Amino acid sequence: MLKVYNYETRTNDSKKIVFTDALDYIEARVQADIAPEFANLTLLNMPRLIKNLQDDEAAELIRRSWVDTISGEYFLTDYDSRIYAVAHGNHPLAYSNRLESEWSKRMSQYNGVVPITMTENDFLLANAIPLSKVKEGYDAGNAVIYLNLDQDSLQIFPSEEDLNYAQWMLDDRILAVCGSEKNRKSLGKFLFEKEKRDTIGNSHQLNNFAIYDQLCGKLLGLREDGEGIIDEVDEVLGRFAAGNKYKK
């Protein structure tokens, strides 16, 4: 059964947030695909989730637990360099049938990443924009962003090193995950100022050289417990939100 919450924004526009009650992510996605409550809604990607947090009632619902999104991160290659990409729009793992067919092949040594093909690798790179464009002010809330880890000059704090606000606003992975400087600042203010957290968790595998030989990806979510943006979807992480259809 789906749990449905309605709320009114400050401008009195009626919106809906829907949470599945399934703990298994695939089961949750199947529910979302067929349940009438989702008929006019789309699953949230990370930038849209951040925007929803600006509404107090929506934020209260979202922060009761973790929320999985359809934004995904990928460990790719352009044949000369390691590429880390974050996809907020069209990408392989955004589709439940694609996930369902590959879920049993997850590589447990890399926290549940899903293998992708070289064709999918090339598709993501062909449709990606560089992080430098986002730094110039481009809103990549529905795009694929790539970071060349071997050629770009990047600021990425080590994995497992919790971030304070100043570090949050400098970390290039955080910027890619948020999709724009505005979203990064907005989420930072929400976590550090509104929720009064001193630090936010920072777990990633960008410095794991071996993972780039695998061609793989995983979905992104936001935890409510101070661990921040998570880069894995385990069988116990299946709760996510849906929001009004996205309009740029």
Q: Is the dihedral of CA 84, 88, 92, 93 positive or negative?
A: positive
pLDDT of residue 35: 87
Cα separation, 128 vs 90, in Å, equals: 10
Q: Provide DSSP, 100-133.
A: HHHGGG-BGGGTTBEE--HHHHHHHHHTEEEHHH
Provide mean pLDDT across the span 193-221.
Answer: 88
Q: Which residue has the tokens 């809604």?
A: 41
More confident residue, 22 or 154: 154
Cα separation, 2 vs 177, in Å, equals: 28
Which pLDDT band holds residue 213 (cuts at 50, 70, 90)?
A: confident
Cα separation, 221 vs 69, in Å, equals: 5
Cα separation, 4 vs 14, in Å, equals: 14
Look at residue 247 and tell me whether its pLDDT is greater than 70.
no
More confident residue, 196 or 201: 196
Provide mean pLDDT across the span 99-105.
Answer: 75
Among candidate residues 204, 203, 205, 199, the one with its CA nearest the CA of residue 226:
199
Which pLDDT band holds residue 14 (cuts at 50, 70, 90)?
A: low
Greatest mean pLDDT among 19-23, 103-107, 142-146: 142-146
Number of other residues whose CB lies within 10 A of the CB of residue 84: 25
Cα separation, 42 vs 214, in Å, equals: 30
Cα separation, 49 vs 150, in Å, equals: 31
Query: In the chain, where are the structural domains located?
Result: 3-244
DSSP 193: I
pLDDT digits 0-9 by tens, 65-94: 778 889 999 999 998 899 999 999 989 988
Which secondary-structure segment (H or E) carries 218?
strand 216-222
State the pTM of this model.
0.89
Provide mean pLDDT across the span 206-226.
Answer: 84
Mean of all residue pLDDT scores within the chain: 85
CB-based contacts of 208, cutoff 8 Å, min separation 6:
110
